[in-house]
Amino acid sequence: MNKPRPVSAKPLSVLLSDVFSDAYARQGFAARELVTRWAEIAGADIARHAEPLKMQWPRPVEGQPQEPATLVLRVEGPAALEIQHKSDVLLERVNRFFGWHAVGRLALRQAPLSRREPPARPRPPNAKAVEEVAKTLSAVEDEALKDALARLGAAIKRN
């Protein structure tokens, strides 16, 4: 009798790794980590207003060393000037990430960023609603737990 083999689910990132690698390679990115880890590489203040669009590599000349690439960034309108002033710092961070002088200059394209803003945090429940729920929790002796349950109950009732 043959035993059935255990089903092992693979993460979606593993299954689509080749697809994403090809898509990033078409845009000139040797490593997709430049896009996926952009906030870590550029810093939160720059990543909030800019994102990598593609890398343009110059044609190699036979007998000459490879010229560094141009990193094309999509930048929100008013932030372009500030990012242009910080270009030396940004180039240093990107090259430090790669471990070699991969990027020699930046090109900025002003356009809206493709990412969406994170959802806003819900506002805390009304104090009066919290008090009403707290009155029903007389069986709970721990005051910290009672307060937490009252806030949770008021938030659930609100929604």
What is the structure's pLDDT at 50? 93
The model's pLDDT over 77-135, given as tens digits with 9 standing for 90+, comes to 888 999 999 999 999 999 999 888 989 999 999 998 886 666 577 788 889 999 999 99
**pTM > 0.75:** no
Residue with tokens 């609603």: 129
How does DSSP classify residue 111?
A: -
Across the chain, the runs of DSSP E, i.e. the strands, are 50-56, 69-75, 103-110
Instruction: List CB contacts of 21: < 8 A, sequence separation 6 or more.
Output: 32
